[in-house]
Each structure stands twice: as C-alpha cells, then as structure tokens.
Structure 1
Amino acid sequence: MSLIRTGCPTWTHEQWFGSLFPANTAKERSLEAYAKYFNSIEGNTSFYHIPDEKTLQRWADQVPNDFRFTFKFHRSISHDKKLLNIEDDLHLVLNRMALLGHKLGCLMLQLPASFGPQQLDTLAHFIRLLPSDFRYAVEVRHLGFFDKSNNEKALNQLLIENNINRVIMDTRALFACTANGDKIIVDAQRKKPKVPTHVIATSDTPLVRFVGHPIIQANKPFYTPWIHKTKQWLDEGKSPYLFFHMANTFDAPWLAEAFFSDFKKLYPDTPIPSIPLPKMHINQLDIFGL
C-alpha cells in the first residue's frame, strides 16, 4: 500500500513547548509528542553524532509502530573521508541503525558540494558496500550533477539500478524571499544549497526536502506542484517522503499543515496524513501583508 511519510528536520524546538506541545511536556518526551502529528522525521543528529544503543531504543519506544526514522550517514563517511576507506565507519553506522528495526525508514547520504561527477565511481563503490535490507537516499550538491548532461544521467542510472532515491532538494521558496537583514533568513540562505530542482523518482520511495519561504502563505505557488506530483507518485504505487524545512524551524510544522490542507482540497478522496496542529502564531509580516 502506497502512503506518504512526512515530517520536519527535528522533533524538538524550545518554542514548541506551549505551542505545538503542551507546556508541561518533558523534553525527553518531545519525540513522543511530535509523533502525535507526524509519521516520520528527518534526523540530522546522526550526521554529527552516532546515537548509542540506549538512545536509539528510547527513541524507538516513543513512536508508534507505523513511524519511520530517516537518519543521515555520519559526516565522517560523507564529508571527512568522502566515501574512501570508510568500511569501519559504515559497519558501525549500519549496525547501530539496525537497532531501530522496521522503524528505520531510510538512510540518507548527504554529499558535499565538492563531491562531483569525477567521483561517481567512488559513489558506485560505496553503494556496492551497502546491504540490501535498508532503504537509502543520496543527496548531491555539485552543480555537475544538475546540468542534464551525461554526468547527471549516469548518476540517475546508478541510483535507479540500485533502487536508491535521489534526494530532491527544493529551496526555491527560501531564495525567493528578501532577507532584509533578518539573521535567521540570511543564515539559512547561506547554508542551504541553491541547486536546480530536478524532479525524478529513482526508487519507489522518492524523498523531497522542501525549504520554505518564511511567510507560510507565500509557499503555496511553490508547493502546489508538489501536491500534484505526490498524487501522481501515489497513483503509481510509490510511497514518497516529504520533509518540510523553514529558516526558523519553529514554523516547519505549520508549513506541513498548510501543504496537506491544500492537498485535501485538491484531492479530497486521497488518503493523506492528518496534521491537526494548534492554531498558528500570528506572524508579524502577515499583518502587513508582506
């Protein structure tokens, strides 16, 4: 059965206590509170630190049976060693993440912008090391993989042959806004990749990372095509992963809610996640129609 997995890049934010979560929610139970709204998470913590066994077990115990974690490979594999001589690191990550059992949805390899087409053979060798009992996704940021040349075709073919998702990064809404000196937006535009949004499903669980405009309503023209594409994927029997980012992470759940609210209006008969969030805080920019 095809279905949508959706969530945010974190399950906790200090301002969610008293807004998204009840004010008395214990911080160590924030994942449990988050999982009342979302059925997946884009876990960035594993990129910086590999969780220990007890931590992974505690996380698995806090979410329902149908929840799926998406974790990143540690940066020692992707950034420090650039996929070379990483067998020991890979063994550690895979054994550790296996503790999540069926609640592990996908492992994401996020490659640096310096990793280009000339290293495609290195990526192919890395993929051959991966056991087939996990799902994987690869995010590339080198512009040589976005020029619709033989380099991009070779990458896509490699991923298709190995049933691995090519992560689709959509930052158009973020870069469509003017920062006006807002440090949070300036920082997000500096860190997020400004790469073309090439829509392709190289596996049966396509993965989209949508980075939004700071004004929720301004995202509609950017995410509406994703509603139609998601519906098409569902009709094809695929189970897409949709993760919603904002410059201010606080706003991410309400961006997801807006997306699925409009999805339901366009396709009322399609089963989709229900995200009945508390009423959104008033955005000062909205008051002035900006």
Structure 2
Amino acid sequence: MALIKTGCPIWTHEQWFGSLFPANTVKEQSLGTYARHFNSVEGNTSFYHIPDKKTIRRWAEQVPNDFCFTFKFHRSISHDKKLLNIKDDLHLVLKRMALLEDKLGCLILQLPASFNPSQLGTLTHFIQLLPKNFRYAIEVRHLGFFDKSDNEKAFNQLLLENNINRVIMDTRALFACPANGDKVIEDAHRKKPRVPTNVIATSDTPLVRFVGHPVIQTNKPFYTPWIHKTKQWLDEGKSPYLFFHMANTVDAPWLAEAFFNDFKQLYPDTLIPSIILPKTHNNQLDFFGA
C-alpha cells in the first residue's frame, strides 16, 4: 500500500465527464470513479456545509478501504467565530467526521489571513479541545507566521508538541504566471495566498498543497524539489499528503499525473501511487497561443 496520500481539491467537475471520467458516468458515481485514480481528496465542501450522516456514509461506501478523505473544519469555527465559543460546532463536526472511521485522513483548520500571532493563545486553547484519535493540519496565512521570528518558532513548536501538521502551501508556480487579462488566473491570484513556502514537517503526515502553473510542463522545476522532499519523508517513515491545485481546477488531475510520472523516473524503486489518466482535453503547450 502506498504511503503517499494524494488527490485534488474536488472529486468531480463537469469538464471531467468525457475526459477523466467516461462520458456516460452518472454524477452520483463520480466519487467512486475519481477514487480509481486517487487515494485521497481535499474536500472543501465541509468548509461551507457540514454534511449530514446519510451523505457521509454514502461517500464512505463509494471508495475503497485505502482511500482517505481530508476535510476542512467548517468556516463557522475558523472564520466566523475565530476559534472562540465553538465547542458545540466542534462537537458536531467531529461527530460527523468520525462516521468515516478509517477513511478519514487529516482534518484541516484553515485560518484566515487576519488570524495573527497575537492569537496564538486562542489556537492553543482550541488544540486542547481536540481529541487525540484524529489527525489534524493547520494552515495559517498571516505573514507573521512566516517571518522566522519567535512568533513563527512558537507556532511551529505548538504543532510539534501536539503532532499536528503545518500545512505547506506552495503557490510559487501559480504566481510565476502573469494574468495578462485572463480572468481565471486573476481570480486565482486574488484568492490563493502568496505566502513563503515553509518546508517543515511538524507531524508524521506532512501535508502539501501545490498550486500549479496553468501550463503543466512549466511546473516541473517547481515540483521537482517536492519529489526529493517526499522521498526523504518516506525514508524517514513519514506518510505525506500531497494535493494538487490548478487555477481552473480542471487540469489538476493531469498535474498530479505529471508529478508522479517524474517521481517514478527519479526513484523507480519507491512505492508511490500509480496515476495513469486519459489525455487531457486541453493542449497545454498552446496556452499562450504559441
């Protein structure tokens, strides 16, 4: 069984029918079809809506036993209440996610950019409320957590002491692409955090969110260091989570495929996910009209 868990930020997209999925795939079966290619997903749906029991059980039934969902805490906890007075919200989220049993990977707490180092005590209290039988990852976006100061050291130490992942966000490839009036790229530049890529494993399941350049081939120099780092983590006995994003989301599966193809070339004897996809419907080389 591959120790790497990998996937995309969603498991279905209307443009995947006829490309990633067979054209006759029923929408309700798209999760099961997605799970033939990937063994995890960064489920953003729970950030906006806490799924009901029936939905969660249906999801769990559609994927194989080695598949792990990686869901986010609901925004009411992280953004609306800013980790204060959230015991009831937290109890509900954890109770629902527990229904996934062994198919639950990490739970991600994505904090807003306004959450700053002065609120580290609030985060510490929140962590104390978390049961130990789940894996967690925390993503920060305030630059005060990236400045190599005592604030950043205190944050990293808090995560290390509690075996919680610091989400590693790599948006360098995305921001290497000028928008040039492209609305999709402009929107991605506006929404994705432009923060330093801080490579640190604060738990045994390091979690990377790689946001790619729209031309898949252009990503190679950006993701190749992650191949070497992932191999190092595997050699250290860690089990990394790698999630691949694109500005348009549509091409994210093929970015993941390119990454693992190159991984296999560099480390042919390493057990990694085998991702073999249909050819993408986009001509990546013609993105700029070349």
Q: What TM-score, normalized by structure 1, do the two folds share? A: 0.98
- Does structure 1 conserve the Cα–Cα contact (< 8 Å) formed by 2:215 and 2:284? no
Within-5 A mapping of 1:232-251: 232-251=232-251
> Hey, what does 1:211 align to over in structure 2?
211
Moved over 6 A (4+): none
Q: Distance in 1 between matches of 2:219 and 2:41?
A: 21
Q: Distance in 1 between matches of 2:53 and 2:30?
A: 19
Look up the SS of the partner of 1:60 in the other structure: helix
> Hey, what does 2:71 align to over in structure 1?
71
Look up the SS of the partner of 2:107 in the other structure: strand
Q: Distance in 2 between matches of 1:179 and 1:287?
A: 12
Cα–Cα, structure 1 residues 87 and 159, in superposed 2: closer, same or farther, change >3 Å? Answer: same
Query: C-alpha displacement at 1:75, in angstroms?
Result: 0.2
What are the Cα deviations for residues 138-164 of structure 1, in whole angstroms up to 9, with x where unaligned? 000000000000000000000000000
- Does structure 2 conserve the Cα–Cα contact (< 8 Å) formed by 1:211 and 1:246? yes
- Identify unmatched segments of 5+ residues in structure 2: none
Query: C-alpha displacement at 1:288, in angstroms?
Result: 6.2
> Hey, what does 2:279 align to over in structure 1?
279
Within-5 A mapping of 1:1-150: 3-150=3-150
Q: Distance in 2 between matches of 1:248 and 1:185?
A: 8
Q: Distance in 1 between matches of 2:216 and 2:186?
A: 18
Query: C-alpha displacement at 1:280, in angstroms?
Result: 2.1
- Identify unmatched segments of 5+ residues in structure 1: none
The one-letter code matched in structure 2 to 1:236 is E
The one-letter code matched in structure 1 to 2:188 is A
Query: C-alpha displacement at 1:284, in angstroms?
Result: 5.8
CA root-mean-square deviation:
1.2
Cα–Cα, structure 1 residues 27 and 160, in superposed 2: closer, same or farther, change >3 Å? Answer: same
Total equivalences in the alignment: 290
- Does structure 2 conserve the Cα–Cα contact (< 8 Å) formed by 1:244 and 1:256? yes
- Does structure 2 conserve the Cα–Cα contact (< 8 Å) formed by 1:212 and 1:246? yes
- Does structure 1 conserve the Cα–Cα contact (< 8 Å) formed by 2:2 and 2:273? no
Q: Distance in 1 between matches of 2:131 and 2:190?
A: 35
Query: C-alpha displacement at 1:287, in angstroms?
Result: 7.0
Q: What TM-score, normalized by structure 2, do the two folds share? A: 0.98
Look up the SS of the partner of 2:229 in the other structure: helix
Percent identity reads: 83
Look up the SS of the partner of 1:268 in the other structure: coil
